[in-house]
Amino acid sequence: MLRRVAIVVLVAAGSLAAQPGNAQLVDLSTLKCKQFIELPKETVIAVTMWLDGYLTDEEDPAVVDFDKMKVRAERLAAYCGQNPEMSLMTAAENIMGR
């Protein structure tokens, strides 16, 4: 599990690092859904990837499926649009949790 999370974090960090001058710190423990859906698209993707790794069960295969990731990001954004004051972590657990 740690290896999978590390890979997801590295991929997410790489996509954020590719945006010099747009460096952001996103505190997921305090982020509300409304704030999440207002983030730049690249940041939403990076956060979704991180959440997927964080919420993945240790026994699940270490695979990144970009098509599934896109669907998860869309579902999470839609759910957050309906629940703007909900914590992003709670929303992610409801949508992406296993």
CB 53 within 8 A of CB 7: yes
pLDDT tens for residues 41-96?
Answer: 888 888 999 999 898 888 888 888 889 888 888 999 999 999 999 999 999 999 98
Identify the weakest region by mean pLDDT among 6-20, 26-40, 44-58, 67-81. 6-20
CA distances from 43 to 53, 61, 81 (A): 15, 25, 17
Task: Say what the pTM is.
Answer: 0.70
pLDDT at 16: 46
Instruction: Using the structure block, give the residue that is written with the tokens 């954020």.
Output: 16
User: How far from 76 is each of 1, 7, 22, 33, 61, CA to CA, in Å?
Assistant: 22, 21, 23, 9, 22
The pLDDT score that the predictor gives to residue 56 is: 85
